[in-house]
Amino acid sequence: PASQKRKGFEKSHCHHVTSNGNSNQIPSPNTRKPPKGRTEGNSASQFAPHTTAALPRYRTKNASLVQDTSRPRLTQYRIHESDSHLKTHPKSIHGSGSPPLLCALENKTSISRPSPARNLPASYYTYRPAAPIKPFIGPPPLASFQSKLRTMGTKKSTVALALLVLALSSLPRACLAVTSPYVRPRPRATLSLRRDADAGGQTPQQVHVSAVGPDKMRVTWITDDDAPAMVDYGTASGQYPFSATGTTADYSYLMYHSGNIHDAVVGPLKPSTTYYYRCSSDPSREFSFRTPPSGLPFTFVIAGDLGQTEWTNSTLQHIAAADYDMLLLPGDLSYADLDQPRWDSYGRLVEPLASARPWMVTEGNHEVEKIPLLERHPFKAYNARWRMPYDAGASPSGSNLYYSFDAAGGAVHVIMLGSYTDYDAGTAQHTWLQGDLAGVDRGKTPFVVALVHAPWYNSNKAHQGEGDGMRDAMEALLYGARVDAVFAGHVHAYERFARVYGDKEDQCGPVYVTIGDGGNREGLAEKYIEPQPKTSVFREASFGHGRLQVVNVTHALWTWHRNDDDEPVVADQTWITSLAPNPACKK
């Protein structure tokens, strides 16, 4: 039914990556519909073992999976209205995990379609998170999965389903690499958000928050006129029993002069608690944020190269449509590119989300903004507007361009690296990274992830080799520390690699993901190197965002959501297991 299509009951690519680098993958033919009499070329060989001709329909007592071709470009799967068992009791099928065969049934109810807001209606500026996604706690062993199958229906359907599982899981590795032939929609217009006409000189604008240590938050905002750098806050709307005073700064760039940039650190705060706050004691605008949880599960949103276009707006709406705890951005924020008022427009665009959840960012090439002779100091606007906790925690870096922090009560260590500052051996960043990684106790911190801007692995023709120098200098450090995943931006497309080290698959290397597809004005990087490298698992040039849901100390669920005509569609999904307990990766 149309109502189900709108809620994103679609699945195009799903598999489970274990700590040894192997995959149990079920790519489904989520491709454009070919003209009559013509096949899809390269995709035919990739998807031949999984074609719907071989599996037009399968049914158990309580569930069915059918092909849905009601949309012309995509081959989808949908769940029948009659299958209420699937909607209300997902664990009765998934057990404690996500069996490979049934991954096409995941995310049945977790995504709702946001209303289109190309002209930014007033409703866009109210943050209304959906109900939290209920995580699946890791993939179960085969025996447990077989046990679940026996409870799902008749003996005949159980046997058929079990045989299908064995057939799919025995497919050769070669069929797992996917270059998506999805037809991308056209580019969209650049947005420019101006200051509200009724805003006064002391009205706070461009408000965003970031985490500082385990129980504090930094609130940053801008006023046109002088105003106190004070945040009043409390746990009830309109009541602010606590206050914190911070600092005020500004900057000039060519003929531009910024407003007053204030920031104040509030806390200590309780975990998983909503706080209401106002800035500069201004009563006209009340904001609220929710503090991250102090343990697992913990959900990160990861989106790079956002910019400020109508595609950016679509990405932001998709992010807001499902709950999360923290956003990570691997560089290229505003795409101001020397035009400083674009920084103000960007701050207004992201404020509804960035004022409600902590945003942790690192710099990209579009933040450099250095002009020989005229503007000799790079990152002037970025450092003034987006101050990160580089001087907090157990491993202060001394630079806003790279830092680290802990999340989920120390269960996840996040490293934000700087692609556009010195990184070779002997430099400040390299020395700091060595010490930071050495201080991580993997017995207490099961997951370590890193973010960079320029990808270290990339099979897109865009920006080829631009991350190689940093990879040569730092890859061995991350590998030696058994970092679980590395996320990058820069390339305006999506790509996920297997566990890699030294350009080869390695069961103890990180999973590498490029996610520079937030919606920037430069458009998508659509040309890939052929043939697809063996280390590249899935690649697609589309806008979107990702979610890393660390569900327990051993498993994290990574999902990439494509922006498909204003609907978030899960196009790639995989389980990432922690390397910390893997005996093969013990040092």
Residue 304 pLDDT more than 70? yes
Q: Report the length, in residues, of the chain.
A: 587
User: Are the C-beta atoms of 412 and 406 separated by less than 8 Å?
Assistant: yes
Residue 440 pLDDT more than 80? yes
Confidence band, pLDDT 50/70/90 cuts, at residue 565: low
Q: Which CATH number is 571's domain given?
A: 3.60.21.10
pLDDT tens digits, one per residue of 323-364: 999 999 999 999 999 999 999 999 999 999 999 999 999 999
Residue 245 covered by a domain? no
- Do 161 and 307 fall within a single domain? no
pLDDT tens digits, one per residue of 549-562: 999 999 999 999 99
- Do 18 and 156 fall within a single domain? yes
- Do 490 and 355 fall within a single domain? yes
224-241: string of b/e by CB count within 10 Å (b at 16+)? eeebbbbbbbeeeeeebe
Residue 581 pLDDT more than 50? yes
pLDDT at 193: 80
Count the Cβ atoms, other than its own, within 10 Å of residue 465: 9
pLDDT at 85: 28
Average pLDDT over residues 279-291: 97
Mean pLDDT lowest among 36-40, 228-232, 426-430, 476-480: 36-40
Helix extents (H) in 336-391 = 341-354, 380-385
**Whole-number Cα distances in Å, 28 to 31, 102, 241:** 9, 12, 54
Average pLDDT over residues 127-140: 38
Average pLDDT over residues 62-67: 30
Residue 143 covered by a domain? yes
Residue 228 covered by a domain? no
Q: How far apart are CA 563 and CA 469, in angstroms?
A: 32
Residue 121 covered by a domain? yes
| Domain end marker among 160, 179, 198 | 179
Residue 303 pLDDT more than 80? yes
In the chain, the amino acid numbered 78 is R
Catalytic residue among 13, 453, 463, 561: 463
**Whole-number Cα distances in Å, 347 to 17, 117, 207, 334, 350:** 37, 18, 7, 8, 6
Residue 52 covered by a domain? yes
pLDDT tens digits, one per residue of 163-212: 444 444 443 333 467 776 665 556 677 777 877 877 889 999 999 999 99
pLDDT at 281: 95
Residue 276 covered by a domain? no
% of the chain beyond a pLDDT of 70: 68
Structural domain count of the chain: 2
Residue 234 pLDDT more than 50? yes
Residue 47 covered by a domain? yes
- Do 174 and 298 fall within a single domain? no
- Do 302 and 169 fall within a single domain? no
Q: Which domain holds residue 540?
A: 294-585
| Domain end marker among 126, 155, 179 | 179
How far out from the chain centre does Cα 459 lie?
20
Residue 122 covered by a domain? yes
pLDDT at 114: 34
As a dihedral over the C-alpha atoms of residue 457, residue 11, residue 179, residue 161, rounded to 10 degrees, the angle is 100
| Domain end marker among 179, 197, 212 | 179
- Do 10 and 147 fall within a single domain? yes
**Whole-number Cα distances in Å, 66 to 27, 107, 109, 126, 182:** 15, 16, 17, 37, 21
Reported as type and span, the H/E element at residue 43 is helix 42-47
Active site residue 463: yes
Angle between helices 428-438 and 468-480 (to 10 degrees): 20
